[in-house]
Amino acid sequence: MPLSRVVRLLLLVFLLVLQYRLWVGEGSLARVAELKQRIASQQEELSRRRARNAALRADVADLREGREAVEERARSELGMIREGETFIQVIDTPTE
């Protein structure tokens, strides 16, 4: 077998191995596309969590700095009223 045939055969085998890695292997184009999709999804989730954290920080700042936020929470979540106020509860009766 002449040397040029051996070189051609080796080059062909090398080319086939590289093609396999390109289309099927660990660094394949399909795998890269999948990883890009996962990155985009995680960035979207991160953006949502950052927005939620900013809202929570604003709530904490309101609670630390002012009485209005504390009072608002006490009224809405605990049903508390101020001294001297009258509590009125309206109950709708179902109409038949």
State pTM to two decimals. Answer: 0.50
* Residue 96 reports pLDDT greater than 80: no
Please state, in angstroms and as integers, the Cα–Cα distance from residue 36 to each residue in 21, 39, 42, following that order.
Answer: 18, 5, 10
pLDDT bucket at 41, cuts 50 / 70 / 90: very high
Confidence of residue 1 (pLDDT cuts 50, 70, 90): low
Q: Which residue has the higher pLDDT, 68 or 57?
A: 57
What pLDDT score was predicted for residue 49?
A: 98
In angstroms, rounded to a whole number, what is the distance separating the alpha carbons of residues 43 and 37?
10
CA dihedral 55, 57, 58, 60 (to 10 degrees): 130
